Amino acid sequence: MSVATATRTGLESIVVDHVSKEFRLQYHRTLKQMAVAKSRKQKISDRFLAVDDVSFAVQQGESIGLMGLNGSGKSTLLRMVNGSMVPDRGSVRTRGRISGLIATGAGFHNQLTGRENIYMNAAILGMSRQQTDARFEEIVEFADVGRFLDTPVGVYSSGMYSRLGFAVAVHVDCDVFIADEVLAVGDKPFKKKCLAKMEEVRRSGVTLFYVSHAAGSVKKMCDRVLVLEKGRLVFDGDVQEGIDLLEYDGDDGDEENDDEVLGADI
């Protein structure tokens, strides 16, 4: 089991250099509970490393699969890559605009309509009003929320939330596209449409960072796999080797049969 170093030749899109992120676990909610615990000499809180001294580099245009069991630190790592979280130690450097989803419907306001949220979310991702106007019909067609477009998204189903969020993110002109938990909700036709659109993004030369437990999809979409285990990078290399390391079985490589379980992660 080898871990590739972060030193590579060529134009680097992402460089993660000895990055660590620590969180605090609070065992008691109230002052009374904490006082009782202290009197009994019990622990009140603890700390743990969600990401532990991780280093790697991604070349421009590479398609990277990020894999690992739930709680391995995948989403924490991606939040540091997209800038929404700062590492406690080490550094993350990225080149160009980053788009994609780390949480379904992130950035949506429940009291605004789908139409209003498209413009707001697109602006958050760096698109101008004119750019959003030019892509608006494509976004709406892809999201397929129908007559609910002018309804507050607070009444949307989780599937509609997912469709609208992904539709905005995937139509942003970007240099790096991140897909995490994006296919957790939705029927098979929508998942298939998402994968087809991501394949289109990949072919365009955009760097793709794809988190999935579905081995078949990762094999189709990715040139390389990173595997996290309890916050540490334990593998960086060949896609099939990474999948074998995780001992995923029962996968025939057909994305129609892949169970896209992108569950909650740390």
Residues with Cβ within 8 Å of 21's Cβ and at least 6 positions away in sequence, in order, are: 49, 50, 51, 73, 76, 77, 80, 85, 87, 88
Residue 32 in tokens:
């009374």
Regions of the chain with pLDDT less than 70: 1-10, 25-29, 32-34, 36-38, 43-46, 102-106, 181-186, 248-266
> Which residues are bridge partners to 237 per DSSP?
225
What pTM did the predictor assign? 0.76
Backbone angles phi, psi at 10, to 5 degrees: 95, 180
Residue pair 52/230 in contact (Cβ under 8 Å)? The answer is: yes
Condensed to tens digits (0 to 9), the pLDDT of residues 16-36 reads 999 999 987 666 667 766 676
> Which residues are bridge partners to 228 per DSSP?
233
Residue with tokens 């009444």: 155
Please provide the CATH number assigned to the domain covering 1-96+175-266: 3.40.50.300
CA angle 103, 168, 137 (to 5 degrees): 155
Residue pair 165/110 in contact (Cβ under 8 Å)? The answer is: no
Condensed to tens digits (0 to 9), the pLDDT of residues 237-264 reads 999 999 999 886 544 444 444 443 333 3
CA-CA distance, 157 to 59, in Å (whole number)? 37
